[in-house]
Amino acid sequence: MINSLYVHIPFCKKKCLYCDFNSYVRLDIQDDYIKALLTEIKRINQSKFKTIFIGGGTPTILSISNLKKLLSELKKFNADEFTVETNPGTLDDQKARILKEYGVNRISIGLQAWQNNLLERLGRIHRVEDFLISYEMLKKIGFSNINIDLMFGIPNQTMSNWVQTIENVLKLNPSHVSCYSLIIEEGTLYYEMYEKNQLTLIDEDTERQMYYYAVESLNKKGIKRYEISNFSKEGYECSHNITYWMDEEYIGVGAGAHSYVQNKRFSNYKNIDRYIEGIYLRNAIEESEVIETYDEMSEFMFMGLRMTKGIEKERFLKRFNKDVYDVYGDKINILKQKNLIIDDGKNIMLTDKGIDISNQVFINFLK
């Protein structure tokens, strides 16, 4: 049985300047899209998932009727953890209650920053006030497991901006926080601006200070880092995302969604029209990659090391029938010497220094 199902909703009210996700401002075709998506979901031949994650885009931008259709189909899988992503300003009381009614038990909400000028700079559609309204509403309706997405390293963001953001978020006593360092991805508006020298990025030292500050202050409140960018109270880790980092199998449905099944990773058409057409022609796969054992080991390592607990040596041995030291011994020893990873006897994990330059660690585990 595959534990996790990802459902993609590729619509947004407006594209944020830094966003490279598969999302479009094309709400007019949501009916057709949901129809195709339901068709794809109905083809899944298993009846239970431990986790479901509806991501986007902005899933809560869907119309009430589409939202209901989708949720009622997904409810059948009886997920233990059922997450929906949302953005402030796209969620009203009615929609929030529908989520609750259909068994959604985890909400991930994008705040990003506590300063309206920074939110504007990011191209967000909401203000801090909108976030607070949504958050309080969710609490009131009875959602106890809420993640707040934050971003640091935003152009023009100061250290004190970031301190203010973290302090205010902590006052809300969230169970889960994600803190992402801004990446200028190719194909985004930010990338174009960056290429034209219209973006002043903050320097690496300040950026790292922001990260260290977040780690420390969240930790003080019992919100512990369990992955490079993810923090939660004990027991509130996102099981769905842990599936990815454990390099377990998953199914993805919707435009551009990736699946990883039986050593094959494949993804649907990113383009909405092609996706819909593909579903009816019974082939919506755009890209497909066979994961050979060596790649699988690489991915096991570089995904697993993202987690604070790192990779479990015993798990490696069971999965690949080989000791991790037989495969990567030289590399691991050098990295240990450089104080980038440690081996506590059971697990191998990144050090704090290793996290800062984790790509330099990960490349050692590639072919």
Partner 1 sequence: MTSKRQEKIRNFCIIAHIDHGKSTLADRLIEATGTLTKREMEDQVLDTMELEKERGITIKSQAVRLVYSDSKGDEYILNLIDTPGHVDFNYEVSRSLAACEGAILVVDATQGIQAQTLANCYLALDHNLEIVPVINKIDLQSARPDEVKKEIEDIIGLDCSDAPLISAKVGIGIEEVLKAVIEKIPAPDGYIEGPLKALIFDSIYDPYKGVVCYVRIKDGTVKKGTRIKLMMTGKEYEVTEVGIFRPSFMEVNELKAGDVGYITASIKNVRDARVGDTITEAERMAKEPLPGYRPAVPMVYSGFYPADSSKYEELKEALEKLQLNDAALTFEPETSVALGFGFRCGFLGLLHMEIVQERLEREYNLDLVTTAPSVIYKIILTNGNVIELTNPTNMPSPTEIDYMQEPIVNASIICPNDFVGAVMELCQGRRGTFKNMEYLETTRVMLHYEMPLNEIIYDFFDALKSRTKGYASLDYEFSGYKKSELVKLDILLNGDIVDALSQIVPEERAYYRGRAIAEKLKEVIPRQQFEIPIQAAIGSKIIARETIKALRKDVLAKCYGGDISRKKKLLEKQKEGKKRMKQIGTVEVPQEAFMSVLKVEQ
- In this chain, which stretch among 10-18, 33-41, 85-93, 293-301 interacts with partner 1, using CB under 8 A? 293-301
Q: Is the Cβ of residue 208 or residue 233 nearer to partner 1 in the bound state?
A: 208
> From the list 168, 283, 333, 360, which residue makes contact with partner 1 (rule: CB under 8 A)?
360
Q: How far apart are CA 283 and CA 267, in angstroms?
A: 11
Q: Which two tokens stand for residue 245?
A: 């980092």
Q: Is the Cβ of residue 25 or residue 357 nearer to partner 1 in the bound state?
A: 357
Single-letter amino acid, residue 20: D
Q: How far apart are CA 104 and CA 94, in angstroms?
A: 14
Q: Is 252 an interacting residue with respect to partner 1 (CB under 8 A)?
A: yes
CB 58, CB 87: distance < 8 Å: yes
Q: Is 182 an interacting residue with respect to partner 1 (CB under 8 A)?
A: yes
> From the list 59, 299, 341, 348, which residue makes contact with partner 1 (rule: CB under 8 A)?
299
Size of the site for partner 1 (CB under 8 A): 42
Query: What's the closest the beta carbon of residue 360 comes to partner 1, in angstroms?
Result: 5
Q: How far apart are CA 109 and CA 95, in angstroms?
A: 14
Q: How far apart are CA 129 and CA 116, in angstroms?
A: 9
Give whole-number Cα distances, 46 to 2, 22, 147, in Å: 8, 26, 28
Query: What SS3 class is residue 199?
Result: coil
> From the list 16, 36, 214, 355, which residue makes contact with partner 1 (rule: CB under 8 A)?
355
> From the list 3, 6, 107, 174, which residue makes contact with partner 1 (rule: CB under 8 A)?
6
Q: Is the Cβ of residue 94 or residue 359 nearer to partner 1 in the bound state?
A: 359
Query: What's the closest the beta carbon of residue 149 comes to partner 1, in angstroms?
Result: 10
Q: Is 236 an interacting residue with respect to partner 1 (CB under 8 A)?
A: no
Q: Is 25 an interacting residue with respect to partner 1 (CB under 8 A)?
A: no
> From the list 39, 116, 181, 271, which residue makes contact with partner 1 (rule: CB under 8 A)?
181
Q: Is 300 an interacting residue with respect to partner 1 (CB under 8 A)?
A: no
- State the Rg of the chain over Cα: 21
* Maximum distance among all Cα pairs of the chain, rounded to whole angstroms: 58
- In this chain, which stretch among 27-35, 116-124, 236-244, 313-321 interacts with partner 1, using CB under 8 A? 236-244
Q: Is 285 an interacting residue with respect to partner 1 (CB under 8 A)?
A: no
> From the list 15, 221, 274, 338, which residue makes contact with partner 1 (rule: CB under 8 A)?
338
DSSP-H helix ranges across the chain: 30-42, 64-75, 93-101, 116-122, 128-141, 159-171, 189-195, 204-220, 239-245, 272-280, 293-304, 313-320, 324-337, 352-356, 358-362
Query: What's the closest the beta carbon of residue 179 comes to partner 1, in angstroms?
Result: 8
Q: How far apart are CA 308 and CA 129, in angstroms?
A: 33
> From the list 260, 275, 316, 328, which residue makes contact with partner 1 (rule: CB under 8 A)?
260
Q: Is the Cβ of residue 139 or residue 274 nearer to partner 1 in the bound state?
A: 274
Q: Which two tokens stand for residue 294?
A: 């060596």
| Cis ω before 57 (30° cut-off from 0) | yes
User: Applying CB under 8 A, which residues contact partner 1?
Assistant: 6, 180-183, 204-205, 207-208, 228-229, 241, 243-245, 250, 252, 256-258, 260, 265, 267, 287, 289, 295, 298-299, 302-303, 306, 338, 355-360, 362-363, 366-367
